[in-house]
Amino acid sequence: MIDKTAIIDPSAKIANNVHIGPFSVIGPDVEIGEGTWIGPHVVIQGPTRIGRYNKIFQFASLGEMPQDLKFKGEKTYLEIGDHNVIREFCTIHRGTVQDASLTRIGDYNLLMNYVHIAHDCVIGNHTIFANNASLAGHVKVEDYVNFGGFSGVFQFCRVGAHSFVTTNSVVIKDVPPYVKVSGYYAKPYGLNTVGLQRRGFTEESIMQLRRAYKVIYRNGLTVVKAMEELQKMLSPEVQQLIQFIEASNAGIVR
């Protein structure tokens, strides 16, 4: 299942039932898990670990050195989980020693054409990056986040679970969980209600989040005062929202 024109470094560890297409290059210190499909003309550099049952399409470049002028050839890593789909011309770079030396992608993510994930990013599970979406370095993305095409996120920002970044948006502050943001620079435009309904959130949970959103964005309160009001709401979703905002260093979109 490995095409005779593919170039595989002797130190690479290839599991059973892995497909590697024509003219792909698998470099040293690369590990590829069972059932992963790699199309033609893919380049994977190490140290990189790729899990099971991923699909990596032609002309993707994974595990290349970071585009960071501070990088001096240190040994840093890329880890990709299971059941991800990485489409044509995607680029995902290894980490830097200025952070945890690791770029990490979770499970069941879809990265469409030309998506760029820079060094030291950490992405959760079940995210969708539409065409040409890009993350700068050190960005943290939680589970079930959707990025529209040509959207971008500034370095060191965090994007909370179940949020939605619309097409052509540029994020320069943290995006709280469950929130929809849009614009250059991105501003909040209500809850990601459609996404929450699709994922089975109850009407009661969505109603509680609507109340929390009004406290944060509609009542004219400072973030500190808004947090005091939110502490009175006991739903687990609102508590997650509180924890995310309290941990923010960059501040949240307003």
H/E stretch holding 91 reads strand 91-93
How far, in Å, CA of 248 to CA of 230, rounded? Answer: 16
The answer to whether residues 8 and 29 touch, using CB atoms and an 8 Å cutoff, is no
* CB 176, CB 192: distance < 8 Å: no
CA distance 200 to 108: 18
Element (H, E) at 144: none
Which residue type occupies 175? V
- Contact (CB, 8 A) for 153 and 230: no
Residues annotated catalytic, as ranges: 119-120, 137
